[in-house]
Chains A and B, each alone.
Chain A
Amino acid sequence: MPQNEYIERAQKLHGKRLDTEERARKKAAREGHKQSENAQNLRGLRAKLYAKERHHQKIQMRKQIKQHEERNIKGAPQEKEPANPIPAYLLDRANPTTAKALSSQIKNKRAEKAARFAVPIPKVKGISEEELFKVVKTGKKIAKKAWKRVVTKPTFVGPDFTRRPVKYERFIRPMGLRYKKANVTHPTLNVTVQLPILGVKKNPSNPLYTQLGVLTKGTIIEVNVSDLGIVTASGKIAWGRYAQVTNNPENDGCLNAVLLV
């Protein structure tokens, strides 16, 4: 049992104080007085914190009151026209629109030709090979055999990857720094979904990094969007889409990306 449940334990063993109910009632009854006193008398930082907290409470309270008022309205609700024109057979239906909005927005955007090459992070800080690779010395003649490298940044390694024999393995991609999923945000819808990575399309720093699947800020990755129900122009379900990494995964421990539209 965790140590901090000692109160419950005591209550179970010995029961509550006989005047518990009354004390709780009285405390609740004094709550208003207490708040008023704090509001009037607190000074400095504590006053500021208190005011802020109280402000949030009041917002919640007003929202709740409004909800209650709406509930009490009698009569037919206002007939609401859907925002986008839809045919008669789709009227009065609750349509799941989010995934659709997503794909049509992508389509609208693609019609603009210039948008085809635009990415959210156009300029990326280059990463030198000295920073990316750490030298591993192998063999007995230590001084000479320094041909092996460890990648120090997070990487994506495909599911069908098998390590080569030690003798031939020039680059080691540590298990601890591998990613399989990315938190992908749709820029205009502000929806974030965790999607499996399919591959690294381009690491702008160096083609070698692309080959190794290094994930740094600005890298273009391909993600599996089949869950979103996006459809291509020929009516097939779209499977892979590109996204750009927006954070430094080696600092954050997660991989955030923004979908390219």
Chain B
Amino acid sequence: MATVLPPPSKRQRREEVERAVTQQDVTPISAADLGSFRTNFVDSDGNQMTDGDIEINFADASEKNISTLLNTLLGRDREDFTPYRFRIHIPGKDIIVDQFPTDLLGLLRKHGVENPFETTLTLSAEPQSVFKVQAVSRLGHRIPGHGQPILACQFSPVTHGRFATGSGDNTARIWDTNTGTPKHTLKGHNGWVLGVSWSPDGERLATCSMDKSVRIWDPEAGKQIGSELKGHAKWVLAMAWQPYHLWRDDTSRIASASKDGTVRIWVVNTGRTEHVLSGHKGSVSCVRWGGTDLIYTGSHDRTVRVWDAVKGTLVHNYTAHAHWINHIALSSDDALRTAYFDHSKEIPATEEAKKAKAKERFEKAAKIQGKVVERFVSASDDFTMYLWDTNSTKPLARLLGHQNKVNHIQFSPDSNFIASCGWDNSIKIWNARDGKFLKSLRGHVGPVYQCAWSADSRLLVTGSKDTTLKVWDVRKGTLAVDLPGHEDEVYCVDWAPNGLLIGSGGKDKAVRTWRN
């Protein structure tokens, strides 16, 4: 039985009323004599954003105020204001503070800046997404239907209303998440459906299975298109669609990775195998198709290979890892997945315009210092991750810190952060530019299987063996919402590209959607 506190005494109540009535003494807060500092703004590549230094009063130096100031200086209308977050370069040192403090003066003093009023502070401004995703907080629907555990799931890039799952009962299903009802059951596979993947335009759904085949479906009609894509000698573990802006000859292509050590590239319209990328000596656990027509594969033979998708030749072979590669993430993953769909809901009319928009979105996501450089990160069983750049054979950084196998890794949609999760029950957040460790999110009591970012990169959802989903506030590094409800391990989780819903599935066979 919980302890019930006695009701407040009369004296306590009187004091309470008095406290509420009398005005607070606010003099120490509005200290006009805090002094001011000078600052110059640079963008994330280090270029000057404004001419000369700007003087700001310490009393007014909140992140929001500075963001408004910067927008005004850049001559934007109030409608076009972009929210910024700032990193503080401590003058005279190599330290960059990621989190904007409530007490800026105190922070400077703490870092040994003797006279904060006379030094010029450099603030690097990172634009935030103009929309904000609210953290989900409750169970939207629990939809039973699958007869076996759900192994893979993905939201359609078009709308949060379509959700595809693959299950151990040899079917994939498409759900209508608006009404919480099943839409289609895609029957045909003879083995567990290990992966589901929507095409970037949302018109096709691909599934891969233990029966060594890949099948392409029409998600609206719920019918299979063409015959199954056969050719692999063993289980097909993962798939990747060709990015939308690279589609040529009026057809899309899909790459599938198999346990037999090969990756096959299929022409979707004809079902023909275009290339067989062989070379891996072990099961290929992950495949990604980059926006510059490169294919990235990670394998149990400890290598990450990069292939040219047009010619089907090997470009790079990275051999830094000491154990299986579990997962690969690209900095442009989110832009490639959603192609020309963005928060504005404007869909270009013509094919050319769609491709142009998809390409523009990809380049925006992959641009570093004005150049399109695709970065990728590989997670491994050797407890480490490597951050790679396709231009060099050396890793940019080695991400050390996990105490057990790293299972899943994901770039944030604005490609500023990397989230990694693994068997040590923790999620770690890394800086995507230099691979520096930022923070550790703890709270799960079992291995964390998968994670997914919200579209605005402010929130992260993780699914774990401990049967819960947890939503994290990445900037604060705290748990935003705990989502219990699954009755068993959560195998897969996905956040809808528009941020409205989270979908999850696991060993308890029921699909769950979560909303705010």
Are A85 and B192 closer than 8 Å at their CB atoms?
A: yes
Q: Which of A79, A87, A234, A237 has the most CB of B within 10 A?
A: A87
Q: Shortest distance in angstroms between B404's beta carbon and chain A's nearest beta carbon? A: 12
Instruction: Give 1 or 0 for each of B426-453: 1 = CB within 8 Å of chain A CB.
Output: 0000000000000000001110010000
| Known contacts A81-B210, A235-B468, A235-B482: A88-B194 contact under CB 8 Å | yes
In angstroms, Cα B194 to Cα A81, docked, is 13
Residues of B within 8 A of A104 (CB): 488, 507
Which B residues lie within 8 Å of A234 (CB)? Answer: 468, 482, 484
CB pair A235–B464 under 8 Å, yes or no, is yes
Query: Are B327 and A231 interface neighbours, CB within 8 A?
Result: no
For window 461-516 of B, CB contacts with A under 8 Å fall at: 464, 466-468, 482, 484-485, 487-489, 491-492, 507
Contacts of B445 in A (CB 8 A): 231, 235-237
Are A88 and B149 touching (Cβ within 8 A)?
no
From A91, A235, A237, B235 is in contact (CB under 8 Å) with A91
**Residues from chain A with Cβ under 8 Å of B238 in the complex:** 88
Contacts of A79 in B (CB 8 A): 234
Nearest-neighbour CB distance to chain A for B371, whole angstroms, equals 33
Q: Tell me which residues from 146 to 162 in chain A have a Cβ below 8 Å from any Cβ of chain B.
A: none
A107 at the B interface (CB under 8 A):
yes
Q: A88-B237, A91-B235, A92-B283 are in contact. Are A233 and B484 (CB under 8 A)?
A: yes
Q: Which A residues lie within 8 Å of B449 (CB)?
A: 87, 89
Judge whether B326 is part of the interface by a CB distance below 8 angstroms: yes
Q: C-beta contact mask, B190-210 vs A, less than 8 Å → 1, else 0?
A: 001011000000000000001
Contact present for B467 and A231 (CB under 8 Å): yes
CB distance from A9 to the nearest CB of B (A): 54
Number of contacting residues on A, CB 8 A?
19
Q: Give the distance to chain A from B382, nearest Cβ to Cβ, in Å.
A: 15
CB distance from A110 to the nearest CB of B (A): 9
Asked if A73 lies at the interface with its beta carbon under 8 angstroms from chain B, I say no
Q: Which residues of B contact A88 (CB under 8 A)?
A: 151-152, 194-195, 235, 237-238, 285
Using Cβ atoms and an 8 Å threshold, which residues of chain A touch B167? Answer: 85
Tell me if A's interface is mostly helix, strand, loop or mixed: loop
The answer to whether A143 has its CB under 8 Å from any CB of chain B is no
Interface flag for A86 (CB, 8 Å): yes
Interface string of A99-136 (1 = CB under 8 A from B): 01000100100000000000000000000000000000
Most A CB within 10 A of own CB, among B148, B407, B467, B482: B467
Give, as a whole number of angstroms, the nearest-CB distance from A30 to chain B: 55
| A67 beta carbon closer than 8 Å to chain B | no
Chain A nearest CB from B422 CB (Å) reads 11
B408 proximity list for chain A (CB < 8 A): 89
Provide the bound-state CA to CA distance between A84 and B488, in Å.
13
Q: Which one of A89, A107, A231 lies within 8 Å of B285 (CB-CB)?
A: A89
**Which single member of B168, B194, B467, B487 contacts A84 (CB below 8 Å)?**
B168
Interface residues in B321-342 (C-beta closer than 8 Å to A): 326-327
Binary CB contact string for chain B from 157 to 183 against chain A (1 if under 8 A, 0 otherwise): 000000000011100000000000000
Measured CA separation A87–B407 after assembly (Å): 12
Q: Mark A62-104, 1 if CB is under 8 A from B, else 0.
A: 0000000000000000010100111111011000000010001
Question: Are A233's CB and B467's CB within 8 A?
Answer: yes
A contact residues around B375 at 8 Å (CB):
none
B283 → A minimal CB distance (Å): 7
If the complex has contacts A234-B484, A235-B464, A236-B445, are A89 and B327 also in contact, measured as CB distance less than 8 A?
yes
Shortest C-beta distance, B301 to chain A (Å), equals 13
Q: How far is the CA of A91 from the CA of B449 in the complex (A)?
A: 13
B residues near A85, Cβ cutoff 8 Å: 148-149, 151, 167-169, 192
Q: Which residues of B contact A91 (CB under 8 A)?
A: 194, 235, 237, 259
Any chain A CB within 8 A of the CB of B300? yes
Please tell me if the beta carbons of B464 and A87 are within 8 angstroms of each other in the complex: no
Interface pair B468/A87, CB less than 8 Å apart: no
How distant is the Cα of A87 from the Cα of B195 in the complex, in angstroms?
8
Interface positions, chain B 10-35, Cβ under 8 Å from A, are none
Nearest B residue to A229 via CB reads B446
Nearest A residue (CB) for B148: A85
Inter-chain contacts of B489 with A (CB < 8 A): 100
A231–B168 CB distance below 8 A: no
CA distance A84 to B509 in the complex (A): 12
Name the residue of chain A whose CB is nearest to the CB of B464: A235
What distance in Å separates the Cβ of B372 from its nearest Cβ neighbour in chain A?
A: 30
Shortest CB-to-CB span from B472 to chain A, Å, is: 14
Mark B residues whose CB is within 8 Å of A.
148-149, 151-152, 167-169, 192, 194-195, 210, 234-235, 237-238, 259, 283, 285, 300, 326-327, 407-408, 444-446, 449, 464, 466-468, 482, 484-485, 487-489, 491-492, 507
8 closest A-B pairs by beta carbon, nearest first, are: A85-B168, A235-B468, A234-B484, A87-B151, A235-B466, A88-B237, A88-B194, A87-B491
Query: In the complex, given contacts A89-B285, A91-B237, A92-B283, what are 19 additional A-B residue pairs having Cβ atoms less than 8 angstroms apart?
Result: A81-B210, A85-B167, A85-B169, A86-B168, A86-B491, A87-B151, A87-B194, A88-B194, A88-B195, A88-B237, A88-B238, A89-B326, A89-B407, A89-B449, A91-B194, A100-B489, A104-B507, A107-B488, A233-B485
Binding site for B on A (CB under 8 A): 79, 81, 84-89, 91-92, 100, 104, 107, 231, 233-237
23 of the cross-chain contacts (CB-CB < 8 Å) are A79-B234, A81-B210, A84-B149, A84-B507, A85-B168, A86-B151, A87-B151, A87-B194, A88-B194, A88-B237, A88-B285, A89-B326, A89-B327, A89-B407, A91-B235, A104-B488, A107-B488, A231-B446, A233-B484, A234-B484, A235-B445, A235-B464, A237-B445
